[in-house]
Amino acid sequence: MSKQDTGARDIRFIIRRFNPETDEAPHNKEYTVRVEPGMTVLEGLHQIKGEQDATLVWRFSCRMGVCGSCGMLVNGKPMLACNSQILHLTNSVLTIGPLPNFKILRDLVPDLMPMLKNHIAGKPHIVREDFDPALTPTDEYYQTPEELVRFLQFSYCIKCGCCMAACPTMALDLDYKGPMPLAQYHRYNADTRDGGFEERAKLAGGTGGVVRCHYAGECSNVCPKGVDPARAIQLMKRQLVAGYLGLAKQQEPCGTIGPDPNARHREGVPPPPPFTIDRK
Amino acid sequence: MADPKKYDNRLGLKGWWGGGRWGFERYAYTLHRLTGLGLITYFVMHILVTSSRAFGADAWAEWMGNVAGPIFHVGEFLVVLSFIYHACNGIRLILVEFGFVVGKAEEPIYPYKTSLNKQRPLLIVMMILAALFVVAMGYDYWMLH
């Protein structure tokens, strides 16, 4: 039987390491891994941890590009380790580092809290004046498919932080909130169910808001989910300017359908479990 | 519990240049900032030099003599180049930042097309326009004067 080329090859991994207990600054450490076709960067890291260096630390969870935990700088570009096949990136050397523009907690683990705090400040949920959606979660809203498309793209964000690491404004501007939180402000502002525009406009239009973005576009280039934060930020700028000039269309948040008066509980079907939150 | 020690991994000015294989818009962004800084520097120098006229004709002649060398002649042409690029790219940025050429939100389907694809024709047109202005101004500046 003749030997077949399986496509497997040795790849040199150069990994940025930082241990806050012993190191003053990050340093590089090299490993060699036998890589099979189809093997992802995440699998390569697992192989190193399992066979060569158990002290290597990174963050991961779902292994399928959904959770956004394994964002890292691979060959100079922010990407998800689970989503990136090694042999698509290189035939010889792979450099891996933590996402830039965040503080490093350890090895490949960035501190995402500053980003998430700005995200939370923008109330990333439906805000209503007439009722609290958290207390009436079963009501359906009147929303057309066209209205859904206005924000659906931005709702795919998995908060991996790749956009923040790629943004050149983030690299120098300590006040800038960054593409991820700002894109999520627009995700809810563009939602016809939401009435929280005024609150978010103060954040988005204030210090470190959308005016600091000058469309380098890298956030959209590197987003592993096609969210296009650059588009969201520019659309929000237009919305904000129109609001300041009094040109914005005044529109109330869409209504809810409410409970069906004809709905009856069918016999033999067990009752639903009690609500887990206080419905006053 | 005390806050754990963290290493600040912010890229600083290096972040303007990226990893060497980034999108064209990043370099347009960086060049826009650099030309903006150049134009501000020129503006300050221009105000200082022309304000010398307030101190009499001799002071004016002396200052104008100081800035008449070949370095300043080339420098002035760089100002022209900066102005052309900054103006052409600035028009693109005004249109982009008011959300006119970035397209509407759409369902992301892999391979993803983003707002960058939507505005790129405008970028190309503005860069061709800038190149034409540079050639015209270069001819005027170096050949006719």
Q: Are A170 and B15 in contact (CB under 8 A)?
A: yes
Tell me, yes or no, if B26 comes closer than 8 A to chain A by beta carbon.
Answer: yes
Residue B20 placed within a domain: no
- Is B17 among the domain residues? no
pLDDT attached to residue B12: 86
| Half-sphere CA count of A193, side-chain side, radius 13 A | 22
Determine whether the interchain pair B9/A110 forms a contact, defined as Cβ–Cβ distance below 8 Å: yes
pLDDT at A211: 95
pLDDT band for A130, please (50, 70, 90 cuts): confident
Q: Is B29 on the interface with A (CB under 8 A)?
A: yes
The predicted-structure confidence for B75-91, as pLDDT tens digits, reads as follows: 999 999 999 999 999 99
User: For the residues B99-120, what does the mean pLDDT come to?
Assistant: 94
Q: What is the DSSP letter of A271?
A: P
Q: For residue A138, what pLDDT is reported?
A: 67
B107 domain residue, yes or no: yes
Is residue B13 in some structural domain?
no
Residue of A nearest to B103 (CA): A231
pLDDT of residue A190: 95
Residue listed under structure tokens 């359908």: A257
CA atoms within 13 A on the CB side of A270: 3
Our separate counts of H helices and E strands in chain A read: 10, 7
Rg from Cα positions in chain A: 23
DSSP A231-250: HHHHHHHHHHHHHHTT-SPP
Q: What is the mean pLDDT of chain B?
A: 91
Q: Considering the domain A9-110 in this protein, what is its CATH number?
A: 3.10.20.30
Task: Provide the CATH number for the domain around residue B102.
Answer: 1.20.1300.10
B2 in reach of chain A (CB within 8 A): no
Model pLDDT, residue A3: 56
Q: Is A123 on the interface with B (CB under 8 A)?
A: no
**Identity of the residue in A190, A215, A234 whose CB atom sits nearest the CB atom of B29:** A215
Residues of A in contact with B110 (CB under 8 A): 226
**pLDDT score recorded for residue B121:** 96
Tokens (6 digits) for B74:
């080339």
Residue B54 at interface with chain A, using a CB cutoff of 8 Å: no
Give percent helix, percent strand, percent coil of chain A, each to the nearest 5.
35, 15, 50
The predicted structure's pLDDT at residue A75: 94
Give domain limits for chain A. Answer: 9-110, 113-244
If residue A74 lies in a helix (H) or strand (E), which one and from where to where? Answer: strand A71-74
Task: Decide if A215 and B96 are in contact by the 8 Å CB cutoff.
Answer: yes
pLDDT at B108 over 50: yes
Q: How far apart are CA B53 and CA A193, in angstroms?
A: 64
Name the residue among A170, A113, A218 with its Cα closest to residue B11: A170
In a domain, B103, yes or no: yes
Q: Out of 1.10.3720.10, 3.40.50.2020, 1.10.1060.10, 1.20.1250.20, which CATH number does the structure's domain A113-244 have?
A: 1.10.1060.10
Strands (E), A6-47: 9-17, 27-35
Of A73, A87, A155, A275, the closest CA to residue B14 belongs to A73
Tell me the backbone φ, ψ of residue A143, rounded to 5 degrees.
Answer: -145, 130
Residue type, B92: R
The end-to-end CA distance of chain B, in Å, is 72
Does residue A23 sit in helix, strand or coil? coil
A172-230 pLDDT per residue, tens: 999 999 999 999 999 999 999 999 999 999 999 998 999 999 999 999 999 999 999 99
For residue A204, give Cα distances in angstroms to A177, A189, A235: 9, 11, 12
**Which residues of chain B have a CB within 8 Å of the CB of A235?**
99, 102, 105
Question: What is the extent of the structural domain holding B53?
Answer: 25-143
Share of chain A above pLDDT 70, in %: 96
What average pLDDT score do residues A81-90 get?
96
Question: B1 in a domain, yes or no?
Answer: no
Interval A27-45: pLDDT, tens: 999 999 999 999 999 999 9
B11 located within any domain: no
Interface probe, candidates A19, A94, A214, chain B, greatest B C-beta count within 10 A: A214
Check if A234 contacts B (Cβ < 8 Å).
yes
Residue-wise pLDDT tens digits, B24-78: 899 999 999 999 999 999 999 999 999 999 999 999 999 888 888 889 989 999 9
Measure CB to CB from residue B10 to each of A101, A221, A235 and give the nearest one.
A101
Confidence (pLDDT) at A87? 96
In a domain, B70, yes or no: yes
B111 prior amide bond cis, ω within 30: yes
Q: How confident is the model at residue A1 (pLDDT cuts 50, 70, 90)?
A: very low
In chain B, DSSP assigns E strands to 7-8
Whole-number pLDDT of residue B19: 53
Q: Is A138 left (phi over 0), alpha (psi -120 to 50) or beta?
A: alpha
Query: What is the side-by-side strand order in the sheet with A71-74?
Result: A27-35, A9-17, A93-97, A71-74, A77-80
Average pLDDT over chain A reads 92
Kind and range of the H or E run holding B116: helix B115-138
Residue A155 token pair: 């709702």
Residue A114 contacts B, CB cutoff 8 Å? no
The ipTM, to two decimals, is: 0.89
Long-range own/partner contacts, residues A191-194 (CB < 8 A, 24 or more apart) = A191/A126, A191/A150, A191/A151, A192/A141, A192/A143, A192/A147, A192/A150, A192/A251, A192/A253, A192/A254, A193/A126, A193/A128, A193/A133, A193/A141, A193/A143, A193/A253, A193/A254, A194/A126, A194/A127, A194/A128, A194/A253
Q: Rounded to the nearest 10 degrees, how much is the dihedral formed by the CA atoms of A135, A138, A142, A143?
A: 90
d(CA A144, CA A39): 42
User: Cβ separation of A217 and B115 shorter than 8 Å?
Assistant: yes
Report the alpha-carbon distance of residue A164 to residue A227 in Å, rounded.
13
Query: In chain B, how many domains are there?
Result: 1
Query: Which pLDDT does position B21 carry in this prediction?
Result: 62
